[in-house]
Structure 1
Amino acid sequence: MAIPTYWLGCMWLPDTILQAIEKKARSFLWESGAGRGLHLQNWNTVMSSKAEGGLAIRKLKEAKAALLGKLVFKVLNRQESPWVKLLRAKYGELNPWSPSVPARASWVWRALVNTAVMIRGGCRKLIGNGRTTKAATEPWLSSVSWNRQPWQMHPRLMNEELLVSDLIAEARGQVDRMVGNGRLTRR
């Protein structure tokens, strides 16, 4: 299973192909030359760890997500490696919240975008100064439920181009005005 694992780390293989590979692995273990065989163990037992009595064969669908997720993490965190620099120079930023794949994108970039979309539910964006975080389309408030997010409560925030830095600047201006009017005092 080493060859499929290599390709899982750099290509988005369809689930049908992964199922076909696992079917071949099962038939290798269980079938004789005549296409028949005796199933001595359940496939889930075979795939369990060696400590649990299995052969530690990975579930390919889960391995695909883990291996490509590691590459997505490197791209999102701007790792200083040549392949990340090359992909960012050619395709720009990888944004899991508004993914776009150019028509002539490489299979590696397509795999990264597909994986980013798959794992985005568990991701949150750190806003820093807020100049690169869109307030309405990117999850930046991790402790607030979806229906209580600011864009769900105020129609002005539905503007897809509104940045978190705009909200920070507006809030700072309101505090400054309140201090200037004497409604709020600094301690």
Structure 2
Amino acid sequence: MGIRSVHNPGSYLGLPTIWGRSKVYALAYVKDNIAKKILGWNNSHLSQAGKEIMIKSVAMAVPAYTMSVFKFPTTLCNKINYALADFWWGSASSPGIHWKNWGSLSLPKSEGGMGFCGLADFNLAFLAKQGWRILSTSNALWVSVLKSRYVPHCSFLEATRGTSPSSAWASILAGRAIMSQSSIWQIGSGQNVDFWRDNWIQRYPSFNLLSHMPTVAPIVSVN
């Protein structure tokens, strides 16, 4: 079998085995893979309709698996967005003029955009889905391993980062924040719901109570 070089330790399940100090460097292979595809597309002289299909169907599929595990640095997301914008506005011989920024192109077509995905939002959506899987499939083996390591004495919704969290755990917590904003409890027995803090009121702007939990004044006994 042999031993891999220290400078190229390989990957496991499609992810790098060694991260180092820079997540941008560790995840740069995603940007490189997209750049290689764009280079081939530019040589094909695609129409705008063809470019739209390639961006939505192929380019967005390249980082999907990695984004479901790790939160990408904003710097890397911006670099990938810029590369896709160059492909959209340019041609094989010229990068072209960016008549609109990627944020505008990411809007739905009904709002004047093209419906492209912003990588940062795309990433958080995947991580929020992982948080939902932890809540809905609590008996899965991978969920049990995470809970025993990071949340042995509380629920996933109450878990903290801890002192030295892994990149995967810190990323899942970033997705949990997004998930918590748009999810509400379905009231059953009510035993697991925090009446004052949790989202449980349907058809209400904030999904929870706007008033604060009342404080009980201490009882002072007078002799």
Shorter-chain TM-score range? 0.5 to 0.7
* 4+ long deviations beyond 4 Å: 39-49, 143-148
Q: 2:96 — aligned with what?
A: 38
Residue aligning to 2:8: none
Q: Partner of 2:194 in structure 1?
A: 134
Correspondence for 1:117 among 177, 182, 205: 177
The residue type paired with residue 112 of structure 1 is I
1:73 is aligned to 2:135: no
Contact persistence 1:5–1:60 (CA under 8 A): no
2:171 maps to 1:102:
no
Deviation of 1:113 (Å):
0.9
The separation in 1 between residues aligned to 2:106 and 2:211, in whole angstroms, is 48
Which of 142, 150, 155 aligns to 1:83? It is: 142
Greater share of helix: 1
Cα distance in 2 for partners of 1:155, 1:71 equals 36
Aligned: 1:60 with 2:119: yes
2: CA distance between counterparts of 1:59 and 1:4?
A: 12
Contact 1:99 1:117 in 2 (8 A): no
Deviations along 1:74-131, one digit per CA (max 9) or x if unpaired, are 1122343322221122222311xx5521122221111111111123221112343333
TM-score under structure 1 length normalisation: 0.60
Q: CA deviation at 1:58?
A: 3.2
In structure 2, C-alpha distance between the alignment counterparts of 1:150 and 1:61, rounded to whole Å? 30
| Residues 1:5 and 1:128: Cα distance change in structure 2 (over 3 Å) | same
What amino acid is the match of 1:37?
P
Residue identity matched to 1:118: I
User: Identity, % of aligned pairs?
Assistant: 16
SS of aligned partner of 1:128: coil
- Across the aligned residues of Structure 1 and Structure 2, the Cα RMSD in angstroms comes to 3.6
TM-score scaled by structure 2? 0.52
Amino acid at match of 1:130: G
1:23 aligns with 2:85: no
Query: Any conservation in 1 of the 2:106–2:118 contact (CA below 8 Å)?
Result: no
Aligned partners of 1:31 and 1:38 also within 8 Å? yes
Q: Which structure has the larger Rg over C-alpha atoms?
A: 1
20-29 or 9-18, which moves further after superposition?
A: 20-29
Q: Gapped runs of 5+ residues in structure 2?
A: 1-58, 217-223
Residues paired across the two proteins, number? 147
**Residue 16 (structure 1) shift:** 2.6
Cα 1:148–1:27 change in 2 (3 A) is closer
Q: Pick closer, same or farther for the CA change 1:102–1:148 going to 2, 3 Å.
A: closer
